[in-house]
Each structure stands twice: as C-alpha cells, then as structure tokens.
Amino acid sequence: MIDVGLLASIAIVLIVPSVFVPPWPTSAAVMGLFETAGGALMIGLVVGRLTSVAIDDPGSLTRISDLMIIRSGVEFWPGVVAGMAWIALRSNHDHIAPAQRLAALTAPALVAWACFEATCLIRDGCPGPLSNVGLRPDGLVQRMLPVGVLAAATAVGAAIATRHFHRRGMPNAQVVALALALLAVIRSVASIWLPRIGEGLTRQHKTSLAVAVIASASFVAIRVLDRRATALAER
C-alpha cells in the first residue's frame, strides 16, 4: 500500500528548500541544492534507519522489507552525522572547504526539516498535549496542540537567524555549530510535549539534549578561538 501522506511530505521537503532557500554563498554549492545535498539525504536516511533497526530489532537487519519501512523508525542524529560526513567528503573531492559547504547548506537543511515537521498535517495528524485550541489527529476525539507545526515555525526562524549571521560574516564553523545547537534545542523542547511511553525521557530526547550541549559548547569554543586568533593577528 502506497503511503500518500509520506510521499507528499518527502516531495515537499525536496521542493520547498530547493525553490525558496538556495545555498549561500552559491559558490559553495554551484551544482544546486538537490545535486549537492541529495546524496547526503539518502545516506542519512539509510544510516538512520539501520541504526534504528539495530537498536530496536536487530533481527530485522537481515530482512530488506523491514528495513525499507521508514515509518517504523529512523534515528535522526546518526542520520544527520552521516549526511554531514558525506557532504564533507564530497566537498574535499570538489576542492571546497567542508565547513564552507556545510554552512551554505544550514538554512536549507533547517527549512527542509521544518517542512517535514509541518507536513504532519497531511500524514497522520500532529500529536501534542491536549488543548482547547489545536487540531484533532486522526482517530482521536480531543484536540491537541500541533507540536510539529510549532517546531516547524521555530526551525524556520532558526534558518532565518543562521542565514542572517552568516551573511554578516559569522565564520562557517560557527554557523554550522549554531545551526546544530538550535535544531537540537528545538527537538529537545518539542520532545517534552510529544506522546511517549512512561515518564522518563525517550532515547531521541536524550540524544537531542546531548547534541544541544555538545553543539553549544562547540559554538562557544570556536567563537573564543576565533576571537583570540583575530586579536593576535591585529597585534
């Protein structure tokens, strides 16, 4: 059975950033967004799915049909790391600094993630805490606050912020660290209100918190080192 909602979501994720949020500077991705990042997206999906299966149901690793059911779970951050590694490798092959290309792709990547979160509207609804003002997911009677839509709106704001700082001269490595930190914080906050089994934090929530801490610390460290290098150069 074809999952029309999921297919439509993927189409929106691919089309919207390509049309409205091109890489900047364009010299870092002269082939265009899809040609530059398409391979990273596929690698990320494969690694994310394999990681999810390896954690939750290792026996499914030998069943291709089970591996292909993306809806059954994809580990987000392993997929992100794999995609970034792919882009870095391709950047070296194209004689472009990996940080430069990754920074050029931060805003489109954040918008792409926002598109996926927002398209919960055309998949199976947008779950969240019960609310008098909200949407009614399929199969439920009560309204819920659409956490996915709110997370998407925040991610678009993060994309605008990172692009703004990048254009104003923020170094590439800082842009990448900032984008990762913002995305991890958004996912961490959103996870508070998403449905879960039990009272403890989910594995995905813990991972996002860890990435938020690491990315934020990296941003501060890179910023301090950059300022020290600037100060030494001016002496």
Q: Check whether 42 has a pLDDT greater than 60.
A: yes
User: What predicted TM-score, i.e. pTM, was given to this entire model?
Assistant: 0.92
Single out the residue of 205, 147, 203, 154 nearest to residue 182, CA to CA. 154
Measured in degrees and rounded to the nearest 5, phi and psi for residue 74 equal -135, 125
The answer to whether the beta carbons of residues 31 and 40 sit under 8 Å apart is no
Higher-confidence residue of 66 and 58: namely 58
Q: Check whether 155 has a pLDDT greater than 70.
A: yes
138: pLDDT confidence band, cut at 50, 70 and 90?
low
What is the signed CA dihedral for 16, 19, 24, 26, rounded to 10 degrees? 140
Higher-confidence residue of 63 and 157: namely 157
55: pLDDT confidence band, cut at 50, 70 and 90?
confident
Domain ranges of the chain: 4-234
Element (H, E) at 189: helix 172-193
In sequence order, what are the residues at sequence separation of 6 or more whose Cβ sits closer than 8 angstroms to the Cβ of residue 55? 75, 203
List 130's β-bridge partners, or say none. Answer: 144
Element (H, E) at 133: strand 130-135
The answer to whether the beta carbons of residues 113 and 155 sit under 8 Å apart is yes
In sequence order, what are the residues at sequence separation of 6 or more whose Cβ sits closer than 8 angstroms to the Cβ of residue 211? 77, 180, 181, 184
pLDDT for 72:
66
Amino acid (one-letter) located at 89: L
